[in-house]
Amino acid sequence: MGSISIFIIYMHEDKELLEILKELYKYLNVLKRTGLIDAWYDQSLQSGMDRKRGINEHLESADIILPLIDNNFLMSDYYSNPEIKRALERLDAGEVSVIPILLTLVDLEETPFKQLPILPTEGKAVTEWQDRDEVLTNIAEGIGKAVTTIRISSLAKEKLPTIIQDEQTKDVTPKKTVEFRGCNADLEEIAAQLQQRKERHHRTALVLGARTGGFFRSSYLYEILRLFSPHHFSDLSHLEQFSECYSILARPLFNKVDTHSILQTSLQDVAVTKADIHLAKLAKRGYFDEIITTNTDDILEQSLLQIGMREYRDFEVFTPVGVMRSRLQTERSSSFRISKMFSNLASRNYDIDPDGIGNRTIRNFVQPILAREILVIGIDPLWDKELLRAIPAGERVIWFVNEEAVPESSIIADLQQARPIEYVGGKNGGYEYFMTNLYATLLETSSLNASGDDSNILHQLRVIQNELRTLKDQIADLQSSKINSSPSIQFEG
C-alpha cells in the first residue's frame, strides 16, 4: 500500500491556529520521511496551482481528514462549509477516517464529531497542555496509530485468503508430549533462596521473557494482528493469542516499515505497572546483578527511573547484538546490568524472529550467566525460543515462573534432561501476581533481617527511639536528683 493521504481542515481567519498547524506539520515529518503519509493543507499548494481544484482533489483522495476544532470553528456555519460537508459524507460512506483535533476546550455534544476519536488523547484540548512539544507529540502519535491501522487493515484484506489457504494445508499432527519431571516450587522458597544468596553476596541472575513485556499487555497488538489470523481470537486464551501474534509477525507479510509501525504503535498505550515497580525496587535492593531480557521495550528502564535510579550511575543497559567481542567481555561498571538480547525497539536494530543468540560470540557472552542459578519469569516458548536454546546444561537450579501449568511439549520440558528445574505455574506464575507477592515476601524477610533500604531506615528509627528513651530517662533522673538535694524550707507558726 502507498502513502496514507491526510487532509487538514482549519479556519483560515485564526492566525494562532495556523501557527499550531505549521508546528504540527513539522511533527509529522517522521511519518512523511518514511513514506507512510502524505499530509496536506491549503498552504501546501504549489505555486500556480488552482486552490479550489487542489482542495477538492486532496479532499476526495484523503484517507484521513483532520478538522482542527476551536470555538471559532463551532461558532461558524461549518455545516455549510463544503469541505466539512464532503468530509462527513465520505465518513458516512465508510470511505475515510475523520479525527478531530481539539485546539480549545469546547462542547461537542450536539455536533457530528461527538462519537469520533479525538486528539489529543482523553479529549484534553491543546490549550490545556502546559508543554507544547508534549501535546504535539501526543497528536502525532495518535495520527501515526490511525495510519498504521489503515495500512495494516488494508494489507490484511489482501493477505488473509492466502493465509487461510495455507492453514488448511498445514500438518496438524499432534506434537509428541514429554512428561515433566521437574518439581513444583513455591514463592516463599524462592524468596528465601534469593535472600540467602544476597546476604552471601552471590546474587541471582534474572531472566525476563516476552510475557513480562509491553507487547504481551498491548491490546492494540492483538486487535491489529487478529486481522491476519485464520482463527477466531475469541476462541483462544490470552497465551494462545500471544503465540498467534508471534506466528503472524514471523511470516513474510510485512516490510520493515510496517513491522516497526505495528510494534511501535502497540507500545503507545502500555504503562508501567505495580509489578514493574516492585521488580525495579528488588533490583535496587541488590537481589539481582544481571537481568537478561528478550523484551525490546523500555518499560524496565522507565520503572527504574521512576524509583529514582539513574542509568550509568546505578545500572547499565547493554545490547549484545552487533557489539564487538571485546565489548562483550567488558565488566559491569554499575551495580547491575540489563542485557537486552534482541536489542531495543527504539534503535530499529532488532528482529522479531531473531537468530542473534545463535551467534557464537553472543552465546559465549550469555551462557556463563545462564549457567548460574537463574530465576526465569514469563518465558514464551515461541517469542523466547532462541533464549531457551541458549541455556546450557549444568547442575545449577532454574526457577521457572509462568502462567501456564507445567508444560509438556516445549523446550522448557526438554531442559529437564539437562538442568534441575523448579516450576511455579498457573495463577501463581503470572508476572503481576508473582512479582507483587515476591516483593511483599522479601520486604517482610529483609525487615526481619534488618537488611534492605526500608528496613535500614526502620532500624535507624528504632536506634533513635532508644536513644530518645535513654535521654528522657537521664533528664528525669537529673530532675529527681535536683529535687532531693534542694534544702527544705521551714515556716514558723
> Secondary structure of the chain: what % helix, strand, coil (to 5)?
55, 10, 35
Q: In the prediction, which pLDDT does 78 show?
A: 67
Pairing, β 421-424 against β 336-340:
unpaired
pLDDT for res 452: 47
Torsional class of 363: left (φ above 0), alpha (ψ -120 to 50), beta (otherwise): alpha
Do 4-149 and 183-218+267-448 share a fold? yes
445-478 pLDDT, tens digit per residue, is 665 454 445 555 555 665 576 677 677 767 766 7
- What angle (nearest 5°) sits at the alpha carbon of residue 102, between those of residues 98 and 106? 115
Q: What is the pLDDT of residues 185-244, one digit of tens each?
A: 889 999 999 999 999 988 999 999 999 999 999 999 999 999 999 888 989 999 999 999
Tens of pLDDT, residue by residue over 283-323, are 999 999 999 999 999 999 999 999 999 998 899 998 876 55
Please give the full DSSP string across 51-77, using - where no structure is assigned: HHHHHHHHHHH-SEEEEEE-HHHHHS-
**Residue 348, SS3?**
coil
Domain ranges of the chain: 4-149, 183-218+267-448
Segment 4-58, tens digit of pLDDT: 899 888 776 666 777 777 788 888 887 888 778 887 665 555 555 666 787 888 8
Amino acid 386: pLDDT: 86
Contact 434, 401 (CB under 8 A): yes
**CATH, range 183-218+267-448:** 3.40.50.1220
Hey, which CATH number is domain 4-149, 1.10.132.20, 3.40.50.10140, 2.40.50.100, 2.60.120.10?
Answer: 3.40.50.10140
Cis peptide bond upstream of 120, omega within 30: yes
